[in-house]
Amino acid sequence: MKSENQTGVSEFLLLGLSEDLELQPVLLGLFLSMYLITVLGNLLIILAVSSDAHLHTPMYFFLSNLSFVDICFTSTTVPKMLVDIQTESKAISYAGCLTQVYFFMVFLCMDNLLLTLMAYDRYVAICHPLRYTVIMHPRLCALLILLSMLISTLNALLHSLMVLPLSFCTDLKVPHFFCDIAQILNLACSDTLINNILVYLVTTLLGVGPLLGIIFSYARIVSSILRIPSTGGKYKAFSTCGSHLSVVSLFYGTCVGVYLSSAVSDSPRKTAVASVMYTVVAPMMNPFIYSLRNKDMKRAWRKLTSGTLSL
């Protein structure tokens, strides 16, 4: 039992993925490599989109924003973990922990909403092709990004402010490699009922809601594609959605996997290991998915590479 209550918390202890000392150099090399690949791959997407005039469309505008958010999302957790492994330190200050909670939730929500916007963009492009340029004009795209940013910021701010009044016990060990809101609430000695209700409510609204929007968009897309008479036309229409659909499957598949693992397993450490899939692996894989399945991105990357080499 947690016997003692302390209101003035100075720091938490992040236990990481493993306490095995022999495994730490392996984890350091693995996550450093994955982080560098994530940053480099997503930066290349941003550079390719910005440098190629053919990619100045709503779809690639959303993609470049997704790449930027993925870099920020990974940078919220991985660098701190790498420093902890290198210095053999597990401490994170109270303010640092709340800051990490805030930015993690901002970029996680942004990732979710951007995938929904990209699904809506594909819906308009395939189901209403003649009105596409009228509906998806640059001003609307910018407003959608700003709205997503506002929703994500307010959501994260609300959760962070709700943690401030809580008092914590002397056992301040977080069985994770970053400050996860669920794990922080588990360490509180004070009543967290309102916090937990808020977490479940927001997860339903900002998690399930956008997912239903994506499913609805693709249901309409599939219905429109099936009405196309030629096989070539069907393939061309579906190919424009293939990369996004793969990214959506990877993101939501890993998130659902983490949720199920936390529900089935009593070990927080196993949940932490499972969360690597959507916090590190998914952002790293996105550039590969878009480069391997998208001819426009391949052409832009070749153009960017040739231009760089010529310099």
List, for residues 14-30, the tens digit of each pLDDT value.
988 888 888 889 999 99
Sign of CA dihedral 50, 53, 55, 57: positive
Q: Which two tokens stand for residue 81?
A: 């973990």
Q: What is the CATH number of domain 12-310?
A: 1.20.1070.10
Q: What is the pLDDT of residues 69-93, one digit of tens each?
A: 999 999 999 999 999 999 888 899 9
Return the structure tokens found at 97: 């922990």
DSSP string, 236-271: HHHHHHHHHHHHHHHHHHHHHHHHHHHHH-S-HHHH
Backbone dihedral region for residue 11 (phi beyond 0: left; psi -120 to 50: alpha; all else: beta): beta
Question: What is the domain partition of the chain in residue ranges?
Answer: 12-310
What does each C-alpha distance from 238 to 56, 222, 223, 307 come to in angstroms? 21, 8, 11, 31
Between 228 and 12, name the one with better pLDDT.
12
Question: Which of residues 228 and 77 earns the better pLDDT score?
Answer: 77
What does the pLDDT read at residue 148? Answer: 96
pLDDT value, residue 215: 93
Lowest-confidence range among 64-68, 72-76, 138-142, 265-269? 265-269
Most confident of 9-23, 192-206, 232-246: 192-206
Q: Are the CB atoms for 286 and 66 separated by under 8 Å?
A: yes
